Structure 1
Amino acid sequence: MSPDPDVQGIASVLNAVREQQPVVHCITATVSMGIVADGLLAAGARPMMTETMHEAPVLTTAADALLVNLGTLSSDAMEGIPATVEAAVAAGHPWVLDPTAIGIAPVRTPLARTLLASRPTVVRGNASEILALADAGPGGRGADSRATPDMARDAAVTITDRTGGAVAVSGAVDLIVDGSQQRRVHRGTRMLTRVTGTGCLLGALTAACAAVSPDRFLAAVAATTWLTLAGEIALERAAGPGSFRLHVLDALDEVGQ
Protein backbone atom coordinates (compact mmCIF):
# COMPACT_ATOMS: atom_id res chain seq x y z
CA MET A 1 0.00 0.00 0.00
CA SER A 2 1.32 3.46 -0.92
CA PRO A 3 2.13 5.78 2.01
CA ASP A 4 -0.62 8.26 2.85
CA PRO A 5 0.45 11.60 1.31
CA ASP A 6 -1.21 13.50 4.15
CA VAL A 7 0.98 11.63 6.65
CA GLN A 8 4.08 12.22 4.54
CA GLY A 9 3.40 15.95 4.52
CA ILE A 10 3.44 16.19 8.32
CA ALA A 11 5.88 13.40 9.20
CA SER A 12 8.70 15.78 10.13
CA VAL A 13 6.51 17.50 12.72
CA LEU A 14 5.14 14.27 14.19
CA ASN A 15 8.65 12.85 14.49
CA ALA A 16 9.89 16.04 16.15
CA VAL A 17 7.10 15.95 18.75
CA ARG A 18 7.91 12.34 19.57
CA GLU A 19 11.65 12.96 19.76
CA GLN A 20 11.61 16.28 21.64
CA GLN A 21 8.61 15.55 23.91
CA PRO A 22 7.66 19.22 24.38
CA VAL A 23 5.94 20.33 27.58
CA VAL A 24 2.66 22.06 26.81
CA HIS A 25 1.21 24.30 29.51
CA CYS A 26 -2.55 23.84 29.10
CA ILE A 27 -5.06 26.31 30.47
CA THR A 28 -8.12 24.44 29.30
CA ALA A 29 -11.70 23.52 30.12
CA THR A 30 -12.13 21.40 33.24
CA VAL A 31 -14.39 18.99 31.33
CA SER A 32 -11.59 18.27 28.84
CA MET A 33 -8.50 18.08 31.04
CA GLY A 34 -8.42 14.28 30.99
CA ILE A 35 -8.52 13.83 27.23
CA VAL A 36 -6.15 16.76 26.68
CA ALA A 37 -3.55 15.33 29.07
CA ASP A 38 -3.94 11.76 27.80
CA GLY A 39 -3.94 12.88 24.17
CA LEU A 40 -0.72 14.85 24.55
CA LEU A 41 0.95 11.90 26.23
CA ALA A 42 -0.28 9.55 23.50
CA ALA A 43 1.17 11.90 20.88
CA GLY A 44 4.53 11.98 22.63
CA ALA A 45 4.26 15.40 24.29
CA ARG A 46 3.89 16.18 28.00
CA PRO A 47 1.08 18.19 29.64
CA MET A 48 1.28 20.74 32.44
CA MET A 49 -1.90 22.30 33.83
CA THR A 50 -2.28 25.27 36.14
CA GLU A 51 -4.26 28.48 35.73
CA THR A 52 -3.92 30.59 38.86
CA MET A 53 -2.48 34.07 38.87
CA HIS A 54 -0.03 33.07 41.61
CA GLU A 55 1.52 30.10 39.79
CA ALA A 56 0.68 29.96 36.09
CA PRO A 57 2.83 32.91 34.91
CA VAL A 58 5.86 31.45 36.69
CA LEU A 59 5.37 27.82 35.71
CA THR A 60 4.71 28.61 32.05
CA THR A 61 8.36 29.63 31.71
CA ALA A 62 9.30 25.97 32.30
CA ALA A 63 7.10 24.79 29.41
CA ASP A 64 7.82 24.80 25.68
CA ALA A 65 4.42 26.10 24.54
CA LEU A 66 1.17 27.45 25.97
CA LEU A 67 -2.45 26.65 25.19
CA VAL A 68 -5.13 29.11 26.30
CA ASN A 69 -8.58 27.58 25.97
CA LEU A 70 -11.51 29.64 27.24
CA GLY A 71 -13.89 26.66 27.62
CA THR A 72 -15.13 26.54 31.21
CA LEU A 73 -13.59 29.88 32.12
CA SER A 74 -13.06 30.12 35.88
CA SER A 75 -12.36 33.21 37.97
CA ASP A 76 -8.82 31.91 38.54
CA ALA A 77 -8.23 31.49 34.83
CA MET A 78 -9.77 34.86 33.99
CA GLU A 79 -7.23 36.52 36.29
CA GLY A 80 -4.29 34.30 35.43
CA ILE A 81 -4.51 34.12 31.65
CA PRO A 82 -3.30 37.62 30.66
CA ALA A 83 -0.23 37.42 32.90
CA THR A 84 0.51 33.87 31.77
CA VAL A 85 0.35 34.85 28.11
CA GLU A 86 2.63 37.82 28.84
CA ALA A 87 5.15 35.52 30.54
CA ALA A 88 5.07 32.98 27.72
CA VAL A 89 5.57 35.67 25.08
CA ALA A 90 8.43 37.19 27.06
CA ALA A 91 10.06 33.75 27.22
CA GLY A 92 9.73 33.39 23.45
CA HIS A 93 7.33 30.46 23.64
CA PRO A 94 4.71 29.80 20.96
CA TRP A 95 1.14 29.97 22.20
CA VAL A 96 -2.26 28.93 20.92
CA LEU A 97 -5.56 30.72 21.55
CA ASP A 98 -8.71 28.59 21.48
CA PRO A 99 -11.63 31.05 21.90
CA THR A 100 -14.15 28.41 22.90
CA ALA A 101 -17.82 29.48 22.91
CA ILE A 102 -17.20 33.19 22.47
CA GLY A 103 -19.95 35.34 20.99
CA ILE A 104 -22.63 36.36 23.47
CA ALA A 105 -20.53 35.37 26.51
CA PRO A 106 -19.89 38.68 28.32
CA VAL A 107 -16.48 37.81 29.85
CA ARG A 108 -14.67 35.45 27.52
CA THR A 109 -15.54 37.34 24.33
CA PRO A 110 -13.78 40.62 25.20
CA LEU A 111 -10.96 38.65 26.84
CA ALA A 112 -10.35 36.66 23.65
CA ARG A 113 -10.30 39.81 21.53
CA THR A 114 -7.91 41.51 23.95
CA LEU A 115 -5.56 38.52 23.84
CA LEU A 116 -5.13 38.96 20.08
CA ALA A 117 -2.86 41.91 20.87
CA SER A 118 -0.37 39.38 22.28
CA ARG A 119 -0.13 37.83 18.80
CA PRO A 120 -0.94 34.14 19.27
CA THR A 121 1.14 31.79 17.14
CA VAL A 122 -2.03 29.98 16.12
CA VAL A 123 -5.70 30.70 16.73
CA ARG A 124 -7.81 27.53 16.62
CA GLY A 125 -11.58 27.47 16.72
CA ASN A 126 -14.74 26.56 14.88
CA ALA A 127 -16.17 28.88 12.27
CA SER A 128 -18.60 30.69 14.58
CA GLU A 129 -15.84 31.33 17.13
CA ILE A 130 -13.52 32.72 14.46
CA LEU A 131 -16.27 35.00 13.14
CA ALA A 132 -17.01 36.24 16.66
CA LEU A 133 -13.32 36.78 17.40
CA ALA A 134 -13.05 39.00 14.32
CA ASP A 135 -16.28 40.75 15.36
CA ALA A 136 -17.81 39.53 12.11
CA GLY A 137 -20.56 37.30 13.52
CA PRO A 138 -22.59 36.57 16.66
CA GLY A 139 -20.89 33.29 17.56
CA GLY A 140 -22.49 29.89 17.84
CA ARG A 141 -24.56 28.12 20.45
CA GLY A 142 -22.05 27.35 23.15
CA ALA A 143 -19.24 25.41 21.51
CA ASP A 144 -21.44 24.48 18.51
CA SER A 145 -20.85 26.31 15.27
CA ARG A 146 -23.60 27.86 13.20
CA ALA A 147 -21.22 28.49 10.28
CA THR A 148 -18.87 26.55 8.02
CA PRO A 149 -15.11 27.12 7.75
CA ASP A 150 -15.45 28.70 4.30
CA MET A 151 -17.92 31.22 5.75
CA ALA A 152 -15.19 32.25 8.22
CA ARG A 153 -12.35 32.48 5.69
CA ASP A 154 -12.32 36.27 5.47
CA ALA A 155 -12.52 36.55 9.26
CA ALA A 156 -9.58 34.15 9.57
CA VAL A 157 -7.54 36.25 7.15
CA THR A 158 -8.40 39.38 9.17
CA ILE A 159 -7.10 37.68 12.31
CA THR A 160 -3.86 36.57 10.64
CA ASP A 161 -3.30 40.14 9.50
CA ARG A 162 -3.59 41.30 13.12
CA THR A 163 -1.50 38.57 14.73
CA GLY A 164 0.98 37.50 12.08
CA GLY A 165 0.11 33.92 13.06
CA ALA A 166 -1.92 31.11 11.55
CA VAL A 167 -5.64 30.44 12.02
CA ALA A 168 -7.10 26.93 11.98
CA VAL A 169 -10.87 26.73 11.46
CA SER A 170 -12.42 23.40 12.37
CA GLY A 171 -15.37 21.88 10.54
CA ALA A 172 -16.37 19.09 8.19
CA VAL A 173 -13.48 20.28 6.03
CA ASP A 174 -10.89 22.08 8.15
CA LEU A 175 -9.38 25.32 6.86
CA ILE A 176 -5.94 26.65 7.83
CA VAL A 177 -4.78 30.09 6.73
CA ASP A 178 -1.58 32.06 7.25
CA GLY A 179 -1.04 35.22 5.23
CA SER A 180 -1.14 34.13 1.59
CA GLN A 181 -1.25 30.39 2.41
CA GLN A 182 -4.42 28.34 2.70
CA ARG A 183 -4.96 24.62 3.16
CA ARG A 184 -8.10 22.52 3.44
CA VAL A 185 -7.89 19.22 5.30
CA HIS A 186 -10.43 16.73 3.94
CA ARG A 187 -10.00 14.15 6.69
CA GLY A 188 -11.71 13.12 9.89
CA THR A 189 -15.09 11.90 11.05
CA ARG A 190 -18.17 13.41 12.68
CA MET A 191 -17.62 11.05 15.61
CA LEU A 192 -14.96 13.49 16.81
CA THR A 193 -17.80 15.90 17.61
CA ARG A 194 -19.50 13.32 19.85
CA VAL A 195 -16.68 13.11 22.40
CA THR A 196 -16.14 15.96 24.85
CA GLY A 197 -12.83 17.73 24.53
CA THR A 198 -11.57 16.72 21.09
CA GLY A 199 -11.46 20.38 20.06
CA CYS A 200 -9.53 21.22 23.22
CA LEU A 201 -7.17 18.35 22.43
CA LEU A 202 -6.64 19.76 18.95
CA GLY A 203 -5.59 23.07 20.49
CA ALA A 204 -3.10 21.28 22.72
CA LEU A 205 -1.72 19.24 19.81
CA THR A 206 -1.34 22.48 17.85
CA ALA A 207 0.71 23.94 20.70
CA ALA A 208 2.88 20.80 20.80
CA CYS A 209 3.49 21.03 17.06
CA ALA A 210 4.25 24.75 17.30
CA ALA A 211 6.80 23.99 20.02
CA VAL A 212 8.89 21.89 17.62
CA SER A 213 8.24 23.64 14.29
CA PRO A 214 9.13 27.27 13.53
CA ASP A 215 6.61 27.11 10.67
CA ARG A 216 3.32 28.02 12.38
CA PHE A 217 1.28 27.16 9.28
CA LEU A 218 2.82 23.69 9.07
CA ALA A 219 2.30 23.23 12.82
CA ALA A 220 -1.42 23.98 12.48
CA VAL A 221 -1.79 21.72 9.44
CA ALA A 222 0.13 18.93 11.19
CA ALA A 223 -2.00 19.03 14.35
CA THR A 224 -5.27 19.13 12.41
CA THR A 225 -4.22 16.28 10.13
CA TRP A 226 -2.86 14.25 13.06
CA LEU A 227 -6.11 14.32 15.03
CA THR A 228 -8.40 13.83 12.03
CA LEU A 229 -6.38 10.83 10.86
CA ALA A 230 -6.52 9.41 14.38
CA GLY A 231 -10.28 9.87 14.27
CA GLU A 232 -10.52 7.88 11.04
CA ILE A 233 -8.48 5.02 12.51
CA ALA A 234 -10.51 5.07 15.73
CA LEU A 235 -13.81 4.97 13.83
CA GLU A 236 -12.84 1.68 12.20
CA ARG A 237 -12.36 0.08 15.61
CA ALA A 238 -15.01 1.72 17.79
CA ALA A 239 -18.47 0.44 18.69
CA GLY A 240 -19.66 3.91 19.72
CA PRO A 241 -18.53 7.22 21.24
CA GLY A 242 -17.14 5.66 24.43
CA SER A 243 -14.83 3.20 22.75
CA PHE A 244 -14.07 5.79 20.07
CA ARG A 245 -12.48 8.01 22.72
CA LEU A 246 -10.22 5.17 23.81
CA HIS A 247 -9.24 4.30 20.25
CA VAL A 248 -8.45 7.95 19.41
CA LEU A 249 -5.74 7.88 22.08
CA ASP A 250 -4.30 4.67 20.66
CA ALA A 251 -4.43 6.09 17.14
CA LEU A 252 -2.58 9.29 18.09
CA ASP A 253 0.33 7.06 19.03
CA GLU A 254 -0.02 5.12 15.78
CA VAL A 255 -0.32 7.84 13.10
CA GLY A 256 2.89 8.11 11.12
CA GLN A 257 4.65 5.25 12.91
Structure 2
Amino acid sequence: MAEGLDAPGVAAVLKRVATRHPRVHCLTNTVAQNVTANMLLAFGAIPSMASHPEEVAAIAAGAGAILINLGTISPEGERAIPKLLDVARERSIPLVLDPVFVELSPLRMRLARDILQLPGVAVRGNAVEMAALEAAMAQAQDVLRVTTGRIDQIEGPGRSYRIHHGHALMTKVTGLGCASSALVAACAAVEPDPAVAAAAALTAYGIAAEIAAGRAAGPGSFAMHLIDALASLDQATLTERMT
Protein backbone atom coordinates (compact mmCIF):
# COMPACT_ATOMS: atom_id res chain seq x y z
CA MET A 1 0.00 0.00 0.00
CA ALA A 2 0.98 3.66 -0.32
CA GLU A 3 0.40 5.37 3.02
CA GLY A 4 -1.66 8.47 2.23
CA LEU A 5 -2.14 7.89 -1.54
CA ASP A 6 -5.05 5.75 -2.72
CA ALA A 7 -5.63 3.78 -5.92
CA PRO A 8 -7.78 6.47 -7.60
CA GLY A 9 -5.06 9.01 -6.84
CA VAL A 10 -2.36 6.83 -8.42
CA ALA A 11 -4.59 6.02 -11.38
CA ALA A 12 -5.32 9.70 -11.99
CA VAL A 13 -1.61 10.52 -12.30
CA LEU A 14 -0.98 7.53 -14.56
CA LYS A 15 -3.90 8.54 -16.78
CA ARG A 16 -2.43 12.01 -17.23
CA VAL A 17 0.90 10.49 -18.24
CA ALA A 18 -0.81 8.17 -20.73
CA THR A 19 -2.93 11.01 -22.14
CA ARG A 20 -0.33 13.78 -22.33
CA HIS A 21 2.71 11.62 -23.26
CA PRO A 22 5.24 13.91 -21.54
CA ARG A 23 8.79 13.78 -22.80
CA VAL A 24 11.43 13.04 -20.18
CA HIS A 25 14.92 14.16 -21.13
CA CYS A 26 17.40 11.71 -19.62
CA LEU A 27 21.08 12.41 -19.15
CA THR A 28 21.53 8.94 -17.78
CA ASN A 29 23.67 5.93 -17.09
CA THR A 30 24.72 4.25 -20.36
CA VAL A 31 24.05 0.86 -18.71
CA ALA A 32 20.45 1.90 -18.06
CA GLN A 33 19.51 3.79 -21.23
CA ASN A 34 17.66 0.96 -22.96
CA VAL A 35 15.63 -0.21 -19.97
CA THR A 36 14.88 3.39 -18.98
CA ALA A 37 13.58 4.21 -22.45
CA ASN A 38 11.43 1.07 -22.54
CA MET A 39 9.94 1.70 -19.09
CA LEU A 40 9.07 5.28 -20.04
CA LEU A 41 7.40 4.09 -23.24
CA ALA A 42 5.44 1.43 -21.33
CA PHE A 43 4.34 4.17 -18.93
CA GLY A 44 3.07 6.32 -21.78
CA ALA A 45 5.90 8.86 -21.69
CA ILE A 46 8.47 9.69 -24.37
CA PRO A 47 12.22 9.36 -23.70
CA SER A 48 14.95 11.56 -25.15
CA MET A 49 18.60 10.97 -24.29
CA ALA A 50 20.80 13.57 -25.98
CA SER A 51 24.01 14.21 -24.06
CA HIS A 52 26.15 16.39 -26.34
CA PRO A 53 26.77 19.70 -24.59
CA GLU A 54 26.10 21.63 -27.81
CA GLU A 55 22.57 20.29 -28.27
CA VAL A 56 21.35 19.16 -24.88
CA ALA A 57 19.79 22.51 -23.92
CA ALA A 58 17.82 22.81 -27.16
CA ILE A 59 16.47 19.28 -26.86
CA ALA A 60 15.68 19.47 -23.14
CA ALA A 61 13.92 22.84 -23.52
CA GLY A 62 10.70 21.21 -24.73
CA ALA A 63 10.71 18.34 -22.23
CA GLY A 64 8.15 17.91 -19.48
CA ALA A 65 10.82 16.79 -17.01
CA ILE A 66 14.58 16.24 -16.83
CA LEU A 67 16.48 13.33 -15.29
CA ILE A 68 20.18 13.55 -14.41
CA ASN A 69 21.70 10.17 -13.51
CA LEU A 70 25.37 10.12 -12.45
CA GLY A 71 25.91 6.40 -12.98
CA THR A 72 28.41 6.62 -15.84
CA ILE A 73 29.25 10.30 -15.84
CA SER A 74 31.59 11.39 -18.66
CA PRO A 75 33.43 14.64 -19.43
CA GLU A 76 30.74 15.35 -22.01
CA GLY A 77 28.00 14.70 -19.47
CA GLU A 78 29.74 16.89 -16.91
CA ARG A 79 29.69 19.80 -19.40
CA ALA A 80 26.03 19.12 -20.22
CA ILE A 81 24.78 19.31 -16.64
CA PRO A 82 25.03 23.11 -16.20
CA LYS A 83 23.13 23.56 -19.47
CA LEU A 84 20.35 21.29 -18.22
CA LEU A 85 20.20 23.18 -14.93
CA ASP A 86 19.86 26.47 -16.81
CA VAL A 87 17.01 25.07 -18.91
CA ALA A 88 15.24 23.66 -15.85
CA ARG A 89 15.58 26.98 -14.02
CA GLU A 90 14.51 29.19 -16.93
CA ARG A 91 11.53 27.04 -17.96
CA SER A 92 10.52 25.70 -14.52
CA ILE A 93 10.95 22.11 -15.68
CA PRO A 94 10.88 19.47 -12.89
CA LEU A 95 14.29 17.86 -12.38
CA VAL A 96 15.11 14.48 -10.83
CA LEU A 97 18.62 13.59 -9.64
CA ASP A 98 19.72 9.96 -9.40
CA PRO A 99 23.03 10.12 -7.45
CA VAL A 100 24.37 6.67 -8.33
CA PHE A 101 27.34 5.71 -6.10
CA VAL A 102 27.73 9.33 -4.99
CA GLU A 103 29.36 8.06 -1.80
CA LEU A 104 32.30 6.63 -3.81
CA SER A 105 33.28 9.61 -5.96
CA PRO A 106 34.29 13.18 -5.11
CA LEU A 107 33.35 14.16 -8.68
CA ARG A 108 29.83 12.80 -8.30
CA MET A 109 29.47 14.48 -4.94
CA ARG A 110 30.50 17.82 -6.41
CA LEU A 111 28.09 17.45 -9.33
CA ALA A 112 25.26 16.44 -7.00
CA ARG A 113 25.90 19.50 -4.83
CA ASP A 114 25.85 21.70 -7.93
CA ILE A 115 22.54 20.20 -9.03
CA LEU A 116 21.04 20.74 -5.58
CA GLN A 117 21.58 24.47 -5.97
CA LEU A 118 18.45 24.35 -8.14
CA PRO A 119 15.31 24.69 -5.99
CA GLY A 120 12.80 21.85 -5.95
CA VAL A 121 15.03 18.97 -7.08
CA ALA A 122 13.70 15.46 -6.45
CA VAL A 123 16.51 13.10 -5.39
CA ARG A 124 15.88 9.37 -5.93
CA GLY A 125 18.52 7.08 -4.46
CA ASN A 126 19.11 4.11 -2.19
CA ALA A 127 19.70 4.49 1.53
CA VAL A 128 23.50 4.70 1.24
CA GLU A 129 23.40 7.32 -1.49
CA MET A 130 20.81 9.38 0.35
CA ALA A 131 22.81 9.28 3.59
CA ALA A 132 25.91 10.48 1.74
CA LEU A 133 23.95 13.42 0.33
CA GLU A 134 22.12 14.34 3.54
CA ALA A 135 24.23 17.39 4.34
CA ALA A 136 23.82 18.79 0.84
CA MET A 137 20.09 18.08 0.81
CA ALA A 138 19.67 19.75 4.19
CA GLN A 139 20.96 22.98 2.65
CA ALA A 140 18.88 22.65 -0.53
CA GLN A 141 15.62 24.49 -1.11
CA ASP A 142 12.41 22.43 -1.32
CA VAL A 143 14.24 19.18 -2.02
CA LEU A 144 12.18 15.99 -2.31
CA ARG A 145 13.87 12.91 -0.84
CA VAL A 146 12.88 9.63 -2.51
CA THR A 147 14.66 6.73 -0.83
CA THR A 148 14.00 3.38 -2.47
CA GLY A 149 14.46 0.00 -0.83
CA ARG A 150 12.31 -2.71 0.72
CA ILE A 151 9.98 0.12 1.70
CA ASP A 152 10.23 3.26 -0.40
CA GLN A 153 10.16 6.50 1.57
CA ILE A 154 9.18 9.85 0.10
CA GLU A 155 9.77 12.99 2.14
CA GLY A 156 9.01 16.47 0.93
CA PRO A 157 7.98 19.81 2.38
CA GLY A 158 4.81 19.13 4.34
CA ARG A 159 4.12 15.69 2.87
CA SER A 160 5.50 12.14 3.12
CA TYR A 161 4.62 8.68 1.84
CA ARG A 162 5.77 5.12 2.42
CA ILE A 163 5.36 2.64 -0.44
CA HIS A 164 5.08 -1.04 0.46
CA HIS A 165 5.15 -2.51 -3.05
CA GLY A 166 7.89 -4.13 -5.11
CA HIS A 167 9.79 -7.40 -5.39
CA ALA A 168 13.31 -8.64 -4.66
CA LEU A 169 13.87 -9.40 -8.36
CA MET A 170 14.05 -5.66 -8.96
CA THR A 171 17.57 -5.78 -7.47
CA LYS A 172 18.67 -8.56 -9.85
CA VAL A 173 18.34 -6.65 -13.13
CA THR A 174 20.69 -3.77 -13.87
CA GLY A 175 19.12 -0.41 -14.55
CA LEU A 176 15.75 -0.95 -12.88
CA GLY A 177 16.52 1.51 -10.09
CA CYS A 178 17.65 4.06 -12.65
CA ALA A 179 14.42 3.50 -14.58
CA SER A 180 12.39 4.24 -11.45
CA SER A 181 13.92 7.72 -11.36
CA ALA A 182 12.72 8.30 -14.92
CA LEU A 183 9.19 7.22 -13.96
CA VAL A 184 9.24 9.70 -11.07
CA ALA A 185 10.22 12.35 -13.62
CA ALA A 186 7.40 11.32 -15.97
CA CYS A 187 4.84 11.72 -13.21
CA ALA A 188 6.38 15.03 -12.12
CA ALA A 189 5.80 16.30 -15.66
CA VAL A 190 2.01 16.00 -15.21
CA GLU A 191 1.55 16.28 -11.41
CA PRO A 192 2.37 19.61 -9.72
CA ASP A 193 2.89 18.06 -6.28
CA PRO A 194 6.29 16.31 -6.52
CA ALA A 195 5.61 14.01 -3.56
CA VAL A 196 2.36 12.81 -5.12
CA ALA A 197 4.18 12.32 -8.43
CA ALA A 198 6.88 10.19 -6.78
CA ALA A 199 4.34 8.17 -4.79
CA ALA A 200 2.28 7.44 -7.90
CA ALA A 201 5.33 6.41 -9.91
CA LEU A 202 6.80 4.10 -7.27
CA THR A 203 3.44 2.56 -6.39
CA ALA A 204 2.79 1.74 -10.05
CA TYR A 205 6.33 0.42 -10.54
CA GLY A 206 6.18 -1.70 -7.39
CA ILE A 207 2.82 -3.23 -8.29
CA ALA A 208 4.00 -3.94 -11.83
CA ALA A 209 7.03 -5.69 -10.30
CA GLU A 210 4.81 -7.88 -8.13
CA ILE A 211 2.77 -8.88 -11.17
CA ALA A 212 5.89 -9.53 -13.25
CA ALA A 213 7.45 -11.68 -10.53
CA GLY A 214 4.41 -13.95 -10.62
CA ARG A 215 4.94 -14.54 -14.33
CA ALA A 216 8.73 -14.70 -14.51
CA ALA A 217 11.07 -17.69 -14.47
CA GLY A 218 14.01 -15.56 -13.36
CA PRO A 219 15.63 -12.12 -13.69
CA GLY A 220 15.75 -12.12 -17.49
CA SER A 221 12.08 -12.83 -18.05
CA PHE A 222 11.21 -10.63 -15.07
CA ALA A 223 12.47 -7.55 -16.93
CA MET A 224 10.33 -8.44 -19.95
CA HIS A 225 7.22 -9.05 -17.86
CA LEU A 226 7.83 -5.86 -15.90
CA ILE A 227 7.52 -3.78 -19.07
CA ASP A 228 4.32 -5.61 -20.00
CA ALA A 229 2.83 -5.24 -16.51
CA LEU A 230 3.64 -1.55 -16.37
CA ALA A 231 2.02 -0.97 -19.75
CA SER A 232 -1.20 -2.73 -18.74
CA LEU A 233 -1.77 -1.26 -15.27
CA ASP A 234 -5.28 0.06 -14.70
CA GLN A 235 -7.28 1.34 -11.74
CA ALA A 236 -8.89 -2.05 -11.09
CA THR A 237 -5.49 -3.71 -10.76
CA LEU A 238 -4.22 -0.90 -8.55
CA THR A 239 -7.28 -1.17 -6.32
CA GLU A 240 -6.92 -4.94 -6.00
CA ARG A 241 -3.23 -4.75 -5.13
CA MET A 242 -3.48 -1.77 -2.79
CA THR A 243 -6.21 -3.15 -0.51
Q: Taking structure 2 as the reference length, what is the TM-score of the superposition?
A: 0.91
Decide whether the 8 Å contact of 1:187 with 1:228 is kept in 2: yes
1:197 & 1:6 partners in 2: Cα distance?
28
1:9 & 1:59 partners in 2: Cα distance?
31
| Residue identity opposite 2:232 in structure 1 | E
Equivalent in the alignment of 1:162: 140
Equivalent in the alignment of 1:222: 200
Q: Kindly indicate whether residue 50 of structure 2 is the aligned counterpart of residue 12 of structure 1.
A: no
Equivalent in the alignment of 1:249: 227
| Residue identity opposite 2:169 in structure 1 | M
* Secondary structure of the structure 1 residue equivalent to 2:61: helix
Equivalent in the alignment of 1:155: none
Aligned residues: 231
Spell out, residue by residue over 1:182-220, the C-alpha distance to the aligned partner (whole angstroms, 9 max, x if none). 211111111001011111111100110000000111001
Equivalent in the alignment of 1:114: 114
Equivalent in the alignment of 2:82: 82
1:87 & 1:74 partners in 2: Cα distance?
20
Q: CA deviation at 1:239?
A: 0.2
Q: Kindly indicate whether residue 123 of structure 2 is the aligned counterpart of residue 123 of structure 1.
A: yes
Decide whether the 8 Å contact of 1:166 with 1:220 is kept in 2: no
1:231 & 1:6 partners in 2: Cα distance?
18
Spell out, residue by residue over 1:128-179, the C-alpha distance to the aligned partner (whole angstroms, 9 max, x if none). 11111124xxxxxxxxxxxxxxxxxxxxxx8376231321100101100012
Equivalent in the alignment of 1:149: none
2:8 & 2:143 partners in 1: Cα distance?
24
* Secondary structure of the structure 2 residue equivalent to 1:176: strand
Spell out, residue by residue over 1:33-56, the C-alpha distance to the aligned partner (whole angstroms, 9 max, x if none). 000001000010000001121111
* Secondary structure of the structure 2 residue equivalent to 1:212: coil
2:224 & 2:138 partners in 1: Cα distance?
35
| Residue identity opposite 1:93 in structure 2 | I
Aligned mate of 2:189, from 199, 204, 211:
211
Equivalent in the alignment of 1:70: 70
Change over 3 Å in CA distance of 1:102–1:9 after alignment to 2: same
Equivalent in the alignment of 2:164: 186
Q: CA deviation at 1:14?
A: 0.4
Change over 3 Å in CA distance of 1:177–1:200 after alignment to 2: same
Q: CA deviation at 1:180?
A: 2.9
* Secondary structure of the structure 2 residue equivalent to 1:30: coil
* Secondary structure of the structure 2 residue equivalent to 1:62: coil
Q: Kindly indicate whether residue 187 of structure 2 is the aligned counterpart of residue 172 of structure 1.
A: no
| Residue identity opposite 1:31 in structure 2 | V
Decide whether the 8 Å contact of 1:126 with 1:170 is kept in 2: yes
Q: CA deviation at 1:120?
A: 4.1
* Secondary structure of the structure 1 residue equivalent to 2:104: coil
Equivalent in the alignment of 1:139: none
Equivalent in the alignment of 1:233: 211
1:235 & 1:49 partners in 2: Cα distance?
29
Spell out, residue by residue over 1:217-252, the C-alpha distance to the aligned partner (whole angstroms, 9 max, x if none). 100101111111110010000000000000000011
Gaps of 5+ in 1: 136-157
The share of aligned pairs that are identical, in percent, is: 42
Q: Which has the higher contact order (CA 8 A, sep 6+)?
A: 2
Change over 3 Å in CA distance of 1:228–1:115 after alignment to 2: same
